[in-house]
């Protein structure tokens, strides 16, 4: 009998580090993406997954969607080759709305095996987004949701941050309503 496990792939690349972020990240370091992806693939094949079966695979970061569909599909292919994946496993891509608005790119990721997108919405208020260093707008959130649905993603989540500086209860309710 296989032991269930979850695989987390950290992708540290992002356009800009948000003021609240405590994760290891490499803003504006696109020059390191190919080497990092190659190192991740090597690490996956050096890991002994015998007796295990992954029931979740989560690409988090940073902004994993910033890697682009080609690199992400290759990384997911390496996960599939290195570790048995349970039938029905949830395979998540974390994405910022500004890098997830292309339905064709999202369709390619869906075909590669991703079945869930987690969008870093954080707030529905453009002023709040700007104050915490986010590079997207609420209009881009809406476009990203539409693109994800068009690409065939039924499993979609939107991350929100509660208690932002100056955020009152009515504004929080507005975020939830959005």
| CATH of residue 155 | 3.20.20.70
- Domain membership of residue 22 as a residue range: 3-177
Longest dimension (CA), the chain: 52
pLDDT digits (tens, 9 = 90+) for 154-170: 999 999 999 888 889 99
Percentages (nearest 5) of helix, strand, coil residues in the chain: 45, 25, 30
Closest by Cα among 136, 117, 29 to 69: 117
pLDDT digits (tens, 9 = 90+) for 68-79: 999 999 999 999
Q: Which residues pair with 94 in a beta bridge?
A: 118
Q: How far is CA 109 from the centre of its chain?
A: 11
pLDDT at position 44 is 92
Per DSSP, helices labelled H in 31-164 are 33-46, 69-82, 103-112, 126-131, 138-150
Q: And the tokens for 9?
A: 């792939």
The answer to whether the predicted template modeling score (pTM) of the entire model surpasses 0.95 is no
Helix (H) or strand (E) segment spanning residue 175: helix 169-177
pLDDT digits (tens, 9 = 90+) for 54-112: 999 999 988 899 889 999 999 999 999 999 999 999 999 999 999 898 999 999 999 99
Number of structural domains the chain divides into: 1
| CA gap 168, 164 in Å, rounded | 9
Q: In the predicted model, what is the mean pLDDT of the chain?
A: 91
């Amino acid at each position: 009998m296989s032991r269930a496990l979850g695989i987390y792939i950290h992708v540290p690349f992002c356009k800009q580090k948000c003021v609240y972020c405590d994760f290891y990240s490499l803003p504006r370091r696109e020059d390191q993406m190919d080497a990092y992806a190659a190192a991740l693939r090597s690490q996956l094949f050096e890991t002994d997954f015998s007796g295990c079966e992954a029931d979740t695979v989560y690409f988090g970061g940073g902004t994993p969607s910033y890697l682009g569909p080609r690199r992400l599909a290759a990384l997911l292919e390496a996960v599939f080759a290195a570790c048995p994946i349970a039938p029905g496993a949830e395979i998540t891509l974390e994405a910022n709305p500004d890098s997830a608005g292309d339905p064709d790119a999202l369709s390619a990721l869906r075909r590669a095996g991703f079945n869930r997108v987690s969008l870093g919405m954080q707030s529905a208020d453009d002023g709040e987004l700007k104050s915490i260093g986010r590079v997207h707008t609420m209009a881009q959130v809406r476009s990203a949701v539409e693109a994800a649905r068009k690409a065939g993603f039924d499993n979609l989540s939107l991350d929100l941050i509660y208690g932002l500086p100056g955020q009152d209860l009515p504004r929080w309710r507005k975020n939830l309503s959005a």
